[in-house]
Amino acid sequence: MNRISYDITIKHNTRYELLEDILTEKQIAQIPNSNISRWKNESDNKFHCENMKF
């Protein structure tokens, strides 16, 4: 089984509902809904990154 790894930026933007600002609808459609749902529900400090400002 091959696993796809996603950049932390994708996860952060999903969490803050900004994914449409960086990806096209076609690209978003390629990400499994289970991943998007999980990222939206992660705790605020799960993907902590000091350089990212939202």
pLDDT in tens, 8-38: 899 989 999 999 999 999 999 999 999 999 9
Question: What is the C-alpha to C-alpha distance for residues 2 and 12, in angstroms, rounded to an integer?
Answer: 23
Question: What is the C-alpha to C-alpha distance for residues 53 and 36, in angstroms, rounded to an integer?
Answer: 20
Q: Which ranges of the chain does DSSP label H, i.e. alpha helix?
A: 8-15, 19-22, 25-29, 33-40
Average pLDDT of the chain? 86
Q: What is the pTM of this model?
A: 0.74
Higher pLDDT, 1 or 18: 18
Q: What share of the chain is helix, strand, coil (3-state, %, to 5)?
A: 45, 0, 55
